[in-house]
Amino acid sequence: MTQPNRPAHPLDPIFSPRSVAIVGASRSRDSLGWALVHNLVRAEFQGTLYPVNPKARSIHSLRCYPSVSAIPDPVDLAVITVPRDFVAGVVDECLAAGVGGLVVITAGFSETGAEGRALEEQLRERVRAAGIRMVGPNCMGVFNTAEEVRLDATFSPTPPLPGSIGFVSQSGALGVAVLNLAAGLGLGLTQFISMGNKADVSGNDLLEYWEDDPATRVICMYLESFGNPKRFTEIAKRVSRKKPILVVKAGRTEEGARAASSHTGALAGADVTVSAFLEQCGVLRADTIEELFDIARAFERCAPPAGPRVGILTNAGGPGILATDACVSFGLAIPPLSEKTRKALRSFLPRVASVDNPVDMIASATADHYALSLATLLEDPELDAALVINVTPVLGDPRDILERIADVARGSEKPVLAVMMARDEFYAAVKGRGDLPPVYAFPESAARALARLAAYGAWRQRPAAEPLPELAMDDAAIAAELDGADADGHLPPARAFRVLELAGIPVARHRQVGSVAEAVAAAAELGFPVVLKAVATGLVHKSELGAVALDLRTAAEVEEAARGMEQRLAAAGLAPGGFLLQEMARGGQEVIFGISADPKLGPLLMFGLGGKYVEVFRDVRFGVTPLAPSEAREMVLGIKGRKLLEGVRGEARVDIDLLVDALLRLARLATTHPRLAELDVNPFLAAGGGRSRALDARIRVTPPATG
Ligand code: ADP
Ligand code: MG
């Protein structure tokens, strides 16, 4: 039952059975029970098929059995497609007969409501108690194209092609479309599985199944939800070191939709969390199935490049420019060519050709020109990959050009992707030719695929296990501060600043007071100039309401500002809650730190350019826990405004290490205190020479769990 070259696995009875019973097999051609038998026969399943149906003698020329228990031989896999109310009985019978694995096609379970959910729960319990695995219910089946198995236990009308991609789909309907598209592109799969309701077998199981399967070189997943994100992180991080995992994640979760009262929440949205989460696991995300397959084709045929530097070779100027723009926008580099490479190109290309990057060989370029130029680019140590573009003259057939490109590409470790702007006949002729470079119809899709190859290469070069720093904090004191939230879940400013201090993050000197008179006294104590801010439950953006007064220089100014704020709060219907006085800070760069907890995926961290315009510039980066030091540094240095931190136009460089340290501390704070639902430090004044500090902090907690 085990395929050669791989260890035994609990999913073997499902993917590599020696015998399959189709329970609910049917003679009627418009039923799933017929389609399943038909597909198994069409694929030439290498084991034995046992249709089960008490009302038929034979189906599809196969002898039919009245029940699973009537089958005279052991059954490895039972595919169940009987009406819902018979499923439990059939499963019991299968378990009694010692069936090795189940695929339940039948729908009507947890996707239909409480009753279905209860039935599904019972199914899961029975199957788990028996120690076997079940795919579904409510799924479209599984297939395995391995020559010694040839199992197609799906009802998909399109027969699968063998190949090196493992595909798991959470949606059955989409599964049919996926198989169509794959076959249309000539993309071959090792195994395909439609998980349906994931009552037992989940995406995590499939990752582990493909982890050590030598035949599966690329893993593709269509996901709608993460059942167990913690386990997914663990497994995906490990598996993506060995082979690429590409994911299309659809749908925003209801739980993930956040209140937009915090900047972090407004900027993030559930989708950003998912992206940050996947990125951290080394998983590559695609927006559509089409994109997924474009990227998968590159991974199937090319090794990741050592770096982002691409040489572009073309016979037409326009597509060369499009390719350049696309590469750059996806984060790749198109460096100028070395004098040596230019000289070599000039020696055989026509004089009117351009030997810059992109190399434009002009419309007269021959297959020889392509081969020689590509070889020259691939030899250049300052290039990591090549993108070759061919625009076919009206009547030409570029097949010979692609063959020559392929010959040269085979002699190099560097990835070569081809853009062939050619007619349909050409595509039909090269479809499924695994020995050719991946071919794309447009420069953008090739550039995107190459960028993902490069991103994966860079991720794999990162150290596998980076120790998290030991950051000591007084967690009991922090927990006590979190207990002191207002009715609406927010901490009063002094408590929020205290939490930051306890976490080891510097804050501006401040006093929180109850009345105007106390404010005047506290200002003198802090020393002028001071900043005055009103405090009130429900007051979110203070400056919008005139509740922030900067640079106050006398007691009279403080008093006047405080009275004005009281009036404005009253006019806005907010109950006064006193004042916050702060030292007046100057210089530096305003940045933002944020935390926004996703109920399923855990805390999302944010760093970016801060201040009043944070939602205008949206120059922020996200990360998830556990946050490693190199990831924190990438978040800080990854913003577009990085130069502002490094000092432009004579401004001093800010303390970047301190920003990285603060992010790591916030990550540690959020992990240890899951009650912390939202945190915005905006602005944090980033400066040099120990002058960095938080000027504004907002923290929202969820109520403590009762009982
Ligand atoms: P809010 O974000 O609720 O409007 P902030 O406390 O962030 O109120 O203050 C608004 C702006 O005032 C900040 O973005 C910052 O530019 C400035 N500011 C706030 N506190 C100080 C301070 N202590 N020193 C100097 N500038 C400050
Ligand atoms: Mg603010």
Tens-place pLDDT, residues 37-81: 999 999 999 999 999 999 999 999 999 999 999 999 999 999 999
Q: What is the pLDDT of residue 468?
A: 86
Is 264's pLDDT higher than 70?
no
Taking alpha carbons only, the member of 158, 152, 236 closest to residue 192 is 152
Q: Give the residue from 302, 386, 667, 309 showing the smallest Cα distance to 505.
A: 667
Mean pLDDT of the chain: 91
Distance of CA 526 from the midpoint of ligand 2 (Å) = 21
At residue 312 the predicted structure's pLDDT band, cuts being 50, 70 and 90, is very high
Measuring from atom 25 of ligand 1, which residue has the nearest CA? 585
Residue 252 pLDDT > 50: no
How high is the pLDDT of residue 705?
Answer: 56
CA 387/CA 368 separation, integer angstroms: 17
Say how many Å lie between the first and final Cα of the chain, rounded.
50
CA torsion, ordered 396, 397, 399, 402, to nearest 10 deg: 40
pLDDT digits (tens, 9 = 90+) for 115-161: 999 999 999 999 999 999 999 999 999 999 999 999 999 999 989 89
What pLDDT was estimated at residue 77? Answer: 98
Residue 324 has pLDDT above 70, yes or no: yes
Residue 496 has pLDDT above 80, yes or no: yes
Tell me how crowded residue 535 is: count the other CB atoms within 10 A of its CB.
Answer: 22
User: Residues enclosing ligand 1, CB less than 6 A?
Assistant: 508, 531, 533, 541-543, 548, 550, 582, 584-585, 590, 611-612, 682-683, 695-696
Instruction: Give CA 331 to chain center in angstroms.
Output: 17
Higher pLDDT, 652 or 520: 520
Centroid of ligand 1 to alpha carbon of 544 (angstroms):
11
pLDDT number for residue 42: 97
Does residue 223 sit in helix, strand or coil? strand
Identify which ligand lies nearest to the alpha carbon of 552: 1
Residue 268 pLDDT exceeds 70: no
Residue 666 CA to ligand 1 centre (angstroms): 21
Given a cut of 50, whether residue 260 has pLDDT beyond it is no
pLDDT digit string, tens, across residues 221-230: 998 877 777 7
Arithmetic mean of pLDDT, 233-238? 89
**Predicted pLDDT of residue 621:** 87
Contact 451, 387 (CB under 8 A): no
Ligand 1 mean position to 548 CA, how many Å?
A: 7
The CA 609 to ligand 2 mean position distance, Å, reads 12
Token pair 């349909």 is found at 424
365-366-368 Cα angle (round to 5): 120
Query: Comparing 618 with 438, which gets the higher pLDDT?
Result: 438
Q: Lowest mean pLDDT of 259-273, 398-412, 521-535, 578-592, name the range.
A: 259-273
**Tell me, what's the pLDDT at 622?**
86
Summarize pLDDT for 328-337 with one digit per residue, the tens. 999 999 999 9
CA 533 to ligand 1: nearest atom: 6
Nearest-angstrom CA–CA distance, 326 and 341: 24
Q: What percent of the chain has pLDDT over 70?
A: 95
CA distance 472 to 481: 17
Q: Tell me: the pLDDT tens digits for 593-649?
A: 999 887 777 888 999 998 877 877 788 888 888 888 988 998 999 888 899 999 877
Give the ranges where 194-260 is alpha helix by DSSP (H).
Answer: 203-211, 229-242
Closest ligand 1 atom to Cα of 585: 24
User: Which secondary structure element, helix H or strand E, spans residue 602, and what is its range?
Assistant: strand 602-609
Q: What is the mean pLDDT of residues 243-262?
A: 64
Domains of the chain, each with CATH number or no CATH:
303-460 (3.40.50.261), 509-584 (3.30.1490.20), 589-701 (3.30.470.20)
Per-residue pLDDT for 538 more than 60?
yes
174-183, 249-258, 609-618: lowest mean pLDDT where?
249-258
Q: For residue 407, what is the enclosing H or E element? A: helix 399-410
| pLDDT of amino acid 424 | 85
pLDDT at 7: 66
Residue 288 is predicted with a pLDDT of 87
CA–centroid distance, residue 542 to ligand 1 (Å): 9
Query: Where is mean pLDDT largest: 67-81, 160-174, 253-267?
Result: 67-81
Helix (H), strand (E) at residue 320 = helix 317-329
Out of 261, 679, 695, 699, mutate this one to test ligand 1's pocket (max ligand atoms within 8 Å of CB): namely 695
Q: What is the pLDDT of residue 267?
A: 61
Of all ligands present, the nearest one to the C-alpha of 694 is 1
**pLDDT attached to residue 254:** 41
Per DSSP, what are the bridge partners of residue 194?
A: 169
Q: For residue 253, what pLDDT is reported?
A: 43
pLDDT tens for each residue of 282-297: 899 998 889 999 999 9
| Higher pLDDT pick, 538 / 585 | 585
The residue whose C-alpha atom lies closest to atom 21 belonging to ligand 1 is 695
Length of the chain: 707
